[in-house]
Amino acid sequence: MLKKIIKKDLEYARKLRNKNSESFFDPRKINKITHDDWFEVMQKDPDSEFYIIYDSDDDFKTKVGTISAHETMDNVEIGNIIIEKKHRRKGYCKNAIFELLELYPGKQLFVEIFPNKKMTSIYEAIGFKEKRRTLWM
């Protein structure tokens, strides 16, 4: 179950991101001021949304992770996908992605990830197909 991030969720999202920073293209830890500034900018971007993922069994009480969506003309890039370790392998990532498909009908979702067998296999199991590779220098 997705709910748009609000100011009171920022500390949760920042701590979760910092606990999993090695999974991001920029692995640096984020401080509170930087994160608050990001939130202010993100709120002004009509094409981007950041969501908290909740356990659907307890009516928005238990936060289990995060996901973001950035809409372009024909596509939606998903990112910031983090599921807390204790909630992994329970379908939250898959359910969040399918909820995004409902929120953006007619749009194709894509995600850019590190070339990592574990993450690639997770996304392929959900239904993603590799279309291209991005090389970095």
Residue type, 34: T
**Architecture label for domain 2-112:** 3-Layer(aba) Sandwich (3.40)
pLDDT for residue 129: 86
Percent of the chain with pLDDT over 90: 68
Other beta carbons within 10 Å of 126: 15
Alpha carbons 12 and 35: distance in angstroms, whole number: 11
Digit-coded pLDDT (tens) for 95-116:
999 999 999 999 999 988 776 6
pTM for this entry: 0.88
Contact (CB, 8 A) for 3 and 100: no
pLDDT band at 25 (very low <50, low <70, confident <90, very high): confident
- Residue 78 three-state SS: strand
